[in-house]
Chains A and B, each alone.
Chain A
Amino acid sequence: EVKLLESGGGLVQPGGSMRLSCAASGFTFTDFYMNWIRQPAGKAPEWLGFIRNKANGYTTEYNPSVKGRFTISRDNTQNMLYLQMNTLRAEDTATYYCARGSYWGQGVMVTVSS
């Protein structure tokens, strides 16, 4: 069974940084692209980016809306996915999900506020 469990959310001040983690299990982690998607309360999801699988060199792609501020990485020895978020703004407030294709985690809330 595919399981994805995010952690690391919370309250951060504008301009601050935060790193989210996603623990993956139930599948061969290195075989899959992994995504981050976020969803402000009451709004539609927004795809943030992905990191490719082993066969494609673990390279990354980002939504232009966050490119340069957000960085996706993975630790394939621990089956972990990460999202490093820098220079955070109020509009980054959302629930953040990791996703493997059609499977989504439970999400973690990030609030950017002073």
Chain B
Amino acid sequence: DVVMTQTPVSLSLAIGQPASISCKSSQSLLGTSGKTFLNWILQRPGQSPKRLIYQVSKLYSEVPDRFSGSGSETEFTLKISRVEAEDLGVYYCWQGTHFPDTFGAGTKLELK
């Protein structure tokens, strides 16, 4: 299975600060279709995961544009330009290129 390695394990930031989370995969996530199926999801405390980004950098319509995704092959980054209170929770990267889908261990964003 593809191993997804996220860093850091946790982040403690003040409102308004930028955030950056790294996700590295053990194999290239570029599929034979030419697409890279790397997603980001956010799990707020006590809630189910919510979608943020798909195919590396595409934001779902309801996601604020302070979120952005980048990367290719095996290295990917989620950035938040200015953290807001509603952004706290655990962020997971999730690959769907290789069977079976696998998830990173998560990065916990806490407010300072």
User: What are 28 pairs between A and B in contact, CB < 8 Å?
Assistant: A43-B105, A44-B92, A44-B103, A44-B104, A44-B105, A45-B92, A45-B94, A45-B103, A46-B103, A47-B100, A47-B101, A47-B102, A47-B103, A61-B99, A63-B100, A64-B100, A97-B48, A97-B49, A102-B39, A102-B41, A102-B51, A102-B54, A102-B60, A104-B48, A104-B49, A104-B50, A106-B48, A107-B48
Interface magnitude class on chain A: 10 to 19
Alpha-carbon distance A44/B51, docked complex (angstroms): 15
A44 engages B106 (CB within 8 Å) = yes
Q: Besides the contacts A45-B49, A97-B49, A104-B49, what 18 more A-B pairs have beta carbons closer than 8 Å? A: A43-B105, A44-B92, A44-B103, A44-B104, A45-B94, A46-B103, A47-B100, A47-B101, A47-B103, A61-B99, A63-B100, A97-B48, A102-B39, A102-B54, A104-B48, A104-B50, A105-B48, A107-B48
Q: In chain B, residues 53-112, which have Cβ atoms closer than 8 Å to a Cβ of chain A?
A: 54, 60, 92, 94, 99-106
Residues of A within 8 A of B (CB): 43-47, 61, 63-64, 97, 102-107
Residues of B bordering A, CB below 8 Å: 39, 41, 48-51, 54, 60, 92, 94, 99-106
Residues of A within 8 A of B49 (CB): 45, 97, 104
B103 cross-chain contacts in A, Cβ below 8 A:
44-47
Tell me what chain A mostly uses at the interface: helix, strand, loop, or mixed: loop
Cβ distance B64 to chain A, nearest Cβ, rounded Å: 16
- Tell me how far the C-beta of A56 lies from the nearest C-beta in chain B, rounded to whole angstroms: 15
Residues on A with C-beta less than 8 A from B48 are 97, 104-107
Set of chain B residues within 8 Å of A103, measured between Cβ atoms? 51
Residue of A43, A44, A63, A104 contacting most chain B CB atoms (<10 Å): A44
Q: Determine the distance from Cα of A46 to Cα of B49 in the docked complex, in whole angstroms.
A: 12
Q: Quick one: closest B residue to A67, CB to CB?
A: B100
